[in-house]
A and B are shown apart, each in its own frame.
Chain A
Amino acid sequence: MVKALAIFLPLLGAFINAWLPGKNPKASRVVSYLLLTAGLAAVVMLSIQLGAWNLNDLSNSVILSTGVGAPPLSINLEITAGGTLAAIVMYAATIFSLRRFALTTPRSQPLVLGLLTASLGLLFATDIFNSFVFLEIGSIVTIGLTAACRCGSRWEAAIKAALVSGLVTILYLLAVAALYRSTGMLTLEALGTLTGGSAILVAILLLTVIVTEIKAYPLTGWGLDFYQGTSSIVAGLYSATWSLAVLLWAAKVLPLLPVGNPIIYAWIGAGGLVLSQLAGLRASSSGRIMGYSTSAYASLLLVAAGTTTGAFYTQIVTVLMVFSSLAKFSLFMLGNPEKKDRWSGYGTILFLAPVLVLAGIPPMPVFWAKFSFLAHLASNFPVIFYAVLTGLFLEAVYLFRFWSARSEKVRVERASKPSAVAAVLLMLTAAIWITRMSWGMLDFSGSIIASDGIRNIFHGLFAVGTLLCLPGVFNRTGREKNYWFWLLISGAALTILPAAGNGLTFYLLWEISAFAAVIGVSKGVAAKNGTFWYAVFASLSGYLLLAGILLSKGSFVIAGLPAILLTIAALVKMGQFGTHLWNIRAYPVAPGTMPAFLAGTASKAAVLLLVAVALTTTGGALPWGRVLAWMGALTALATAMLAAFAPDYRKMLAYASVSQLGFVLMGLGLASILGWTAAFYQTIHHLIFKMALFLGAAGVVYRTGTSEFNNLGGLVKKMPWTFAFTLIAVISFASVPPLAGFGGKWLLYNGLVEAGWLPVLIVGMFASVVAFLYSFRLLHGVFLGQLSPRNAHAKEAPLPLLIPQAILAMAIMVLGFKPTILLNFLVPTLEAIPGLSGLAPVIQGDMVLTAMGTWNAWMVGLMVMGFFGVAFVFFWISGHKPKYVGQLDLGFAGEMPPSADEVHYSNNFFRPYARALSFLPKIHAEKIFRGTTKTFNMLGDGVRALFTGDGRTYLAHSLIFLLLLFVFLNGGM
């Protein structure tokens, strides 16, 4: 009884709706809701009966026989456990969207319910002719719904769908006839018994039908036009019901097709995935983007059908398809292509959750399936694995562009769309549910960082860094939104990160931290572009990390390719060697203390990853340590020069951050105790000074509303404390004794000399001297020189920003005067690591000794402070009290100085330096990157030239595909 209710209540609803006079829409809606709720309840009951909620076993099923006799005269439905989950989504989507259909096109309600019925039928059909019947019903209802919507290109969309379904019908019926003629049966299982010529015929016919219906590449064209042409409501309902049903039906049929070796599916899928996603890069309208994403999931289905079997296959396919459909539904429910493609909703998160699901970012439900699936591919089908990973990365790129391009508009409109909200809530609940189920795969028992000391350093860094960013989160400028929650999530994930016991746990926390930070950045004003860049580079490093972990088969990372992939992931995260493009875009636009968190704290995750790779693979040495050191040195030099010419305060700090991380890389690359001591010292120091600088910048931006040098200057009079803390941080990172920065450089140089890497040393020293250029530019451009009348109202930064800066400045002083506090902990910790070569620095009291050098920070500190103190006191008590004068009272040879803005030297700072550099060929990472993007775009354009928008072409595609299959399978069999 329950079984029948689950399937046929919508049908009943459709008839009632068609019968009820249109003058009483309310009554028909009430009836629909009642029937749908009852149906949903029935499906939920069935799913519980079949044990579907335990995703590990989806093989249970019950048979629902209707009519008299055997199929095809009757309809026999097999209600599978996985199918009930899909049915729940279908019911939910219908319920969520019914009101919107009622408001726009009230008379389409019977069609909506009809589509649900057809979807449920196809989902559970066991007979090939029954499937045909449902396919036909579904196609016709879709065409009807599309034609009924009030959108611009509905007729085109409907006619293309009609053309394709016509062709599909012909091919399908031919296949049915061939099957019946050979076997005398029409059940799906009969497909497996086919042999010889009829097997090939049926296989190629059905495969063409399936690829067309699921819209996998290269037969995607009609789907793209359909999604673009129809209304977002129809497209949403379609993707959550009919499209889902077709995908799961295809998943059922594909393994039964007599194709010989099913690996052909995987090749079609993997190739199609890369090509279609290349084309997806060029898509701009929301409908087409969703279409390309559909194509990606269809390709994934093909890959899964070709490479996996049994319960694993069912599980992966069910989770992937069900949740991607739900995600598309919620995106369509937010979208309004009718109204110039604008989005509306509660905010970024409502919008982002489905994008994260589609991109497979943890802990979203799709991620868990993707992870298991990719792990399987990595160990068994490496080439397909690379192709799939590439395709998924390309998909992530355009999905995040799509999100960032519209996330600004989200702020403007606040009208909520209950249907989308409901779908997102459903998805998030599912995320919690699946994460809870997959919890066993996580491991916190033993960390991948074997050394307790190193682990504790990172725990401490992440925790302290996050905490120091928190007080300032409520001081935001103008239209910036609240970001504290995301900062906290990101910081919390980072703090746990060093405890991760296996690759999956590490990856999960890494991605949570990265994408929480992406959301945090997106809350800034005009953060659209910066957020996109950050998201793309975060995805890139995430996918590289994933690839490395999966290729290591069980252990965290193994030497060889996986170690290299992980190293590159860390470099991207650090912004090294040309990947600084994201840093310089994301930091300047991130709100409030977010850049301090990103540059100061989050960048240390990359150091942690490098350390983890080194410790796991070789016990200390990184693969290609010398190459890494060179990358660090060249990055440090190039970005230091770029920083000197940066026109924006926070942009300069972003460059400087990358530059200073280059020194960490040099130290790690050395793989000696000295080198690592230097690297850890510099890592800790980088966190301290970079956070102090960015917190100072947050205060300046908060009070003046700008971070462009041309609008700043002279703020020392208004913000003396911010200046003082910034000054301390600047002196420190310029490595001038007696502050903390010198120690890192000294240790590093000693390590480089010990290893004999003198050229690296020279480049590093040059980079550290070039740092003077930007450190002065920074201090002068913001705090010294003439105060612009624009900023006359500015006040000292608020205490929540100042107090953390004071703590950090104090830390710089302490570390500068007594570095042995840290070294006494660091050196024994690193000495215990077996893989590190070289001699450890010897610490005798305040003295640090290496084979060739000596350094007594305490004495140097005392000397500097002593003489400075004496001079200061002398000036103070000697009665020398000059009068403070106005800022324009200058020695101008008797002339009246013009305005403060004109006297202030800011524009074209270091112009002679730029002129001196002009002999260099202009190799800009930016240009290289743009060139790469352009190449990808051209490739994408080439691929999408297939999709002409002409229905006849799409028919031709299907026929050519059929022909190629015939040639290929005939030769192969």
Chain B
Amino acid sequence: MLANFTSVALTIVGALTWGLLLGGISRSVTARIHGRMGPRVTQNFIDLWKLFRKTSSIHHGGMFWMAPMFRITGAICVLLMVPLVIGQNITYNMSFAGDVFLLIYIMFFGCLGMALGAGNSGHPYAVIAVSRGLAQMSSYELSFSIAVVAIAVGLHTFKIEGIVAAQQAGITSWNIFRFPFASAGALLAFLPMQMAYPFGIVLAPQEIPIGPPTEYSSRMLSFMLSGRALFGVAKLILFVSLLFGGASSWLSLFVKTFLLYMYPIVVSSVFPRFRTEQSIRFLWFIPTTLALVDLVRVML
């Protein structure tokens, strides 16, 4: 019991650290692509600590006040639902409590809280961003769920552990090779999930300066940022588990998540932004069609 609680606590702390570090690395990488020096990799820790120590002077209502809690709770829950390292049962955390369907739906918990906080702030930019985000989310979830269903049905299990276990017979047994089309669809959906360009319509700094968290500051914002970092890591681990054979050791976990993290960063750096409807249509057609190919294959 104690070991479980310790594992949960360590997972959260570790994921937060890793998430912030990845964020710092991405800022550096982006800067180098742009030909700048950029901030140091620990900058995100510094920012978070600074924000955490400050106190907001204002709030806009109950939902505004509770949204960071929704956000961070949602992120932690997703994180804990995915097993970390295969074979080390202690790192499976809460994954026994549900399967991929639960995971897909619990991912909305944090988003919903965030959306409610943004709505309660009364700022039009925040709400516009939420409306864009929801429209986009409903679109990429289509291809993502097709891909997940194709993989899960193909492997005859909805459990993440089962999906990971089925990929342990060498690199060719990874789902990215066994279900190439579904994986392509899921990876295209991964870009908007990480708010990478060309799908970065939610934060869109030039249009609706930073979108949902527009009105947030200080400690509330620090919770929001921690939530984002945790959620990011959770999604990375999920994708690694779904497509890249999971992690058989801590090292492979870090390497695989790091490499996967770089993928949206690199794509993001060289693309301009879609208009909202362009993004939605792209997500409806290209990744969905790709994922459908494997779904049909599984059905046949």
Please, what's the 1-or-0 string for B95-109, where 1 marks a CB less than 8 Å from any CB in chain A?
A: 011110110011011
Given known A-B contacts A762-B145, A913-B277, A780 and B119 have beta carbons under 8 A apart: yes
Cα(A714)–Cα(B60), bound, Å: 11
Main secondary structure of the interface of B (DSSP, over half): helix
Cα(A549)–Cα(B212), bound, Å: 56
Contacting B at CB under 8 A, from A860-900, are 860, 863-864, 867-868, 871-872, 875, 878-880, 882-885, 887-891
When the two chains form their complex, are residues A776 and B115 in contact, meaning their CB atoms are under 8 A apart?
yes
Q: Which residues of B contact A852 (CB under 8 A)?
A: 99, 152, 156-159
Given known A-B contacts A868-B73, A883-B59, A714 and B122 have beta carbons under 8 A apart: yes
Cβ of A904 within 8 Å of any chain B Cβ, yes or no, is yes
Q: Which residues of A contact B262 (CB under 8 A)?
A: none
Contacting A at CB under 8 A, from B120-138, are 120-124, 127-128, 130-132, 134-135, 137-138
Which of the segments A65-73, A263-271, A493-501, A741-749 contacts the partner chain? A741-749
Q: Which residues of A contact B94 (CB under 8 A)?
A: 859-860, 863
Q: Which residue of chain A has its CB nearest to the CB of B69?
A: A871
When the two chains form their complex, are residues A773 and B105 in contact, meaning their CB atoms are under 8 A apart?
no
When the two chains form their complex, are residues A856 and B97 in contact, meaning their CB atoms are under 8 A apart?
yes
Instruction: Give min CB distance, B153 to chain A, whole Å.
Output: 6
Q: Which residues of A contact B158 (CB under 8 A)?
A: 750, 753, 852-854
When the two chains form their complex, are residues B98 and A855 in contact, meaning their CB atoms are under 8 A apart?
yes
Cα(A727)–Cα(B122), bound, Å: 17
Q: Which residue of chain A has its CB nearest to the CB of B124?
A: A905
Cβ of A9 within 8 Å of any chain B Cβ, yes or no, is no
Q: Which residues of B contact A919 (CB under 8 A)?
A: 281
Please, what's the 1-or-0 string for B65-95, where 1 marks a CB less than 8 Å from any CB in chain A?
A: 1101110110011001000000000000010
Please, what's the 1-or-0 string for B207-250, where 1 marks a CB less than 8 Å from any CB in chain A?
A: 00000001100011001000000000000000000000000000
Given known A-B contacts A871-B72, A916-B281, A772 and B299 have beta carbons under 8 A apart: no
Cβ of A471 within 8 Å of any chain B Cβ, yes or no, is no
Cβ of A765 within 8 Å of any chain B Cβ, yes or no, is yes
Cα(A905)–Cα(B127), bound, Å: 7
Q: Which residues of A contact B220 (CB under 8 A)?
A: 882
Q: Which residue of chain B has its CB nearest to the CB of A914?
A: B277
Which of the segments B39-47, B50-58, B168-176 contacts the partner chain? B50-58
Instruction: Give min CB distance, A863 to chain B, whole Å.
Output: 6
When the two chains form their complex, are residues A882 and B55 in contact, meaning their CB atoms are under 8 A apart?
yes
Cβ of B149 within 8 Å of any chain A Cβ, yes or no, is yes
Cα(A142)–Cα(B69), bound, Å: 82
Cα(A903)–Cα(B223), bound, Å: 27
Q: Which residue of chain A has its CB nearest to the CB of B140?
A: A769
When the two chains form their complex, are residues B99 and A854 in contact, meaning their CB atoms are under 8 A apart?
yes
Instruction: Give min CB distance, A745 to chain B, whole Å.
Output: 7
Cβ of B275 within 8 Å of any chain A Cβ, yes or no, is yes
Cα(A717)–Cα(B131), bound, Å: 22
Which of the segments A122-130, A474-482, A732-740, A833-841 contacts the partner chain? A732-740
Q: Which residue of chain A has its CB nearest to the CB of B56?
A: A882
Q: Which residues of B contact A888 (CB under 8 A)?
A: 122
When the two chains form their complex, are residues B127 and A864 in contact, meaning their CB atoms are under 8 A apart?
no
Q: Which residues of A contact B146 (CB under 8 A)?
A: 762
Cβ of B21 within 8 Å of any chain A Cβ, yes or no, is no
When the two chains form their complex, are residues A905 and B223 in contact, meaning their CB atoms are under 8 A apart?
no
Q: Which residues of B contact A735 (CB under 8 A)?
A: 105
Cβ of B112 within 8 Å of any chain A Cβ, yes or no, is yes
Instruction: Give min CB distance, B70 to chain A, whole Å.
Output: 7
Cα(A863)–Cα(B8), bound, Å: 11
Given known A-B contacts A745-B105, A776-B115, A859-B97, A753 and B145 have beta carbons under 8 A apart: no
Q: Which residue of chain B has its CB nearest to the CB of A885?
A: B58
Cβ of B272 within 8 Å of any chain A Cβ, yes or no, is no
When the two chains form their complex, are residues B215 and A737 in contact, meaning their CB atoms are under 8 A apart?
no
When the two chains form their complex, are residues B280 and A912 in contact, meaning their CB atoms are under 8 A apart?
yes
When the two chains form their complex, are residues B145 and A742 in contact, meaning their CB atoms are under 8 A apart?
no
Given known A-B contacts A716-B120, A762-B145, A852-B152, A773 and B135 have beta carbons under 8 A apart: yes
Q: Which residues of B contact A885 (CB under 8 A)?
A: 58-60
Please, what's the 1-or-0 string for A762-779, where 1 marks a CB less than 8 Å from any CB in chain B?
A: 100110011011001101
When the two chains form their complex, are residues A736 and B109 in contact, meaning their CB atoms are under 8 A apart?
yes
Cα(A890)–Cα(B118), bound, Å: 12
The listed residue (B73, B108, B124, B132) touching A912 by CB distance below 8 A is B132
B contact residues, range: 35 or more
Given known A-B contacts A716-B120, A772-B108, A891-B123, A853 and B101 have beta carbons under 8 A apart: yes
Cβ of A609 within 8 Å of any chain B Cβ, yes or no, is no
Cα(A853)–Cα(B135), bound, Å: 29
Please, what's the 1-or-0 string for B257-292, where 1 marks a CB less than 8 Å from any CB in chain A?
A: 000000000000000000111101100100000000
Q: Which residues of B contact A913 (CB under 8 A)?
A: 135, 276-277, 280
Cβ of A310 within 8 Å of any chain B Cβ, yes or no, is no
When the two chains form their complex, are residues A871 and B73 in contact, meaning their CB atoms are under 8 A apart?
yes
The listed residue (A745, A867, A883, A891) touching B77 by CB distance below 8 A is A867
The listed residue (B72, B112, B122, B295) touching A785 by CB distance below 8 A is B122
When the two chains form their complex, are residues B298 and A758 in contact, meaning their CB atoms are under 8 A apart?
yes
Q: Which residue of chain B has its CB nearest to the CB of A902?
A: B124
Instruction: Give min CB distance, B192 to chain A, whole Å.
Output: 13
Given known A-B contacts A859-B94, A882-B58, A885-B59, A916 and B116 have beta carbons under 8 A apart: no
Cα(A756)–Cα(B299), bound, Å: 7
Q: Which residue of chain B has its CB nearest to the CB of A913?
A: B135
The listed residue (B57, B62, B121) touching A890 by CB distance below 8 A is B121
Q: Which residues of B contact A875 (CB under 8 A)?
A: 65, 68-69, 219
Cβ of A784 within 8 Å of any chain B Cβ, yes or no, is yes
When the two chains form their complex, are residues A863 and B58 in contact, meaning their CB atoms are under 8 A apart?
no
Q: Which residue of chain B has its CB nearest to the CB of A852?
A: B158
When the two chains form their complex, are residues A863 and B138 in contact, meaning their CB atoms are under 8 A apart?
no
Please, what's the 1-or-0 string for A615-651, where 1 marks a CB less than 8 Å from any CB in chain B?
A: 0000000000000000000000000000000000000
When the two chains form their complex, are residues B69 and A868 in contact, meaning their CB atoms are under 8 A apart?
yes
Given known A-B contacts A882-B55, A884-B59, A916-B284, A856 and B72 have beta carbons under 8 A apart: no
Cα(A78)–Cα(B77), bound, Å: 88
Cβ of B61 within 8 Å of any chain A Cβ, yes or no, is yes
Cα(A779)–Cα(B118), bound, Å: 12
The listed residue (A745, A772, A883) touching B134 by CB distance below 8 A is A772
Q: Which residues of A contact B298 (CB under 8 A)?
A: 758
When the two chains form their complex, are residues B77 and A769 in contact, meaning their CB atoms are under 8 A apart?
no
When the two chains form their complex, are residues B275 and A912 in contact, meaning their CB atoms are under 8 A apart?
yes
Please, what's the 1-or-0 string for B142-181, where 1 marks a CB less than 8 Å from any CB in chain A?
A: 1001100100110011110000000000000000000000
Cβ of B63 within 8 Å of any chain A Cβ, yes or no, is yes
When the two chains form their complex, are residues A891 and B214 in contact, meaning their CB atoms are under 8 A apart?
yes
The listed residue (B66, B109, B152) touching A864 by CB distance below 8 A is B109
Given known A-B contacts A716-B120, A885-B58, A770 and B131 have beta carbons under 8 A apart: no
Instruction: Give min CB distance, A713 to chain B, whole Å.
Output: 9
Cα(A729)–Cα(B139), bound, Å: 24
When the two chains form their complex, are residues A784 and B63 in contact, meaning their CB atoms are under 8 A apart?
yes
Given known A-B contacts A779-B119, A785-B122, A912-B132, A887 and B60 have beta carbons under 8 A apart: yes
Cα(A369)–Cα(B158), bound, Å: 58
When the two chains form their complex, are residues B69 and A872 in contact, meaning their CB atoms are under 8 A apart?
yes
Q: Which residues of B contact A777 (CB under 8 A)?
A: 131
When the two chains form their complex, are residues A867 and B280 in contact, meaning their CB atoms are under 8 A apart?
no
Cα(A909)–Cα(B131), bound, Å: 7
Instruction: Give min CB distance, B217 to chain A, whole Å.
Output: 9
Q: Which residues of A contact B137 (CB under 8 A)?
A: 769, 772
Q: Which residue of chain B has its CB nearest to the CB of A787?
A: B122
Given known A-B contacts A762-B149, A867-B73, A880-B219, A784 and B119 have beta carbons under 8 A apart: yes
Q: Which residue of chain B has its CB nearest to the CB of A731?
A: B112
A selection of 27 A-B contacts at a CB cut-off of 8 Å is A716-B62, A720-B62, A727-B116, A735-B105, A746-B101, A753-B158, A758-B149, A762-B142, A762-B149, A766-B138, A769-B141, A770-B138, A776-B115, A776-B131, A784-B120, A852-B157, A853-B101, A853-B158, A853-B159, A855-B98, A855-B101, A860-B97, A868-B69, A871-B72, A882-B220, A912-B275, A912-B277
10 extra interface residue pairs, beta carbon distance < 8 Å, beyond A735-B105, A784-B127, A891-B123: A753-B149, A769-B142, A860-B97, A864-B109, A883-B59, A884-B61, A891-B215, A904-B122, A912-B276, A916-B276
